[in-house]
Amino acid sequence: MIIRDGELSDLEQLTAIYNWAVENTTATFDLAKQSTASRLEWFNQHTGVHPLIVAELDGKAVGYCTLSKFREKEAYIKTVEISVYIHPSYQRRGIGTALVEEMIQRGKKLGHHVIIAGITAGNDISVKLHQKFGFELCGHMKEVGKKFGKWQDVLFYQLIIE
């Protein structure tokens, strides 16, 4: 497995991975599939201090991880939000672990102070993944999104890295 910076040529595969999550999980609160063109703006937001990394296996992108702005206000500039998505055929192979580990290291090098993970309640695999790296529960927002006909809670985990 190779962990590398995301490239524009990955966009179609990254969009497919994301759209699988949209249609099959509560990991994202998007309700409709995204087009590759619409994901181009998202891709272009992940440069510099907000990286996008990809796990490549068998010559294709099988997972990705991003750091994004946590909030727009200037005082939040050293706080970022992490997201990680893995192709369903490649889950439970350590890819998420490798991506999060690399992203934490990049976050430190980029001078970030806190990484936030917003995880839908019930996504125990994601909770355990983040806890493995020392993320701690810092908030529980009840019934903040409705997906698949059911109100969903969101758990917020944080890791102070500085």
Mean pLDDT of 52-58: 96
Q: Quick one: pLDDT band at residue 162, thresholds 50, 70, 90?
A: confident
For residue 137, the cross-strand partners are: 157
Mean pLDDT of 123-128: 96
Per-residue pLDDT tens over the stretch 61-107: 999 999 999 999 999 999 999 999 999 999 999 999 999 999 999 99
Indicate the number of domains in the chain: 1
What CATH code is carried by the domain that includes residue 41?
Answer: 3.40.630.30
Q: In what order do the strands lie in the sheet with 150-160?
A: 2-5, 52-57, 60-69, 79-86, 114-120, 150-160, 136-147
Mean pLDDT of 142-156: 98
Range of the domain at 149: 2-160
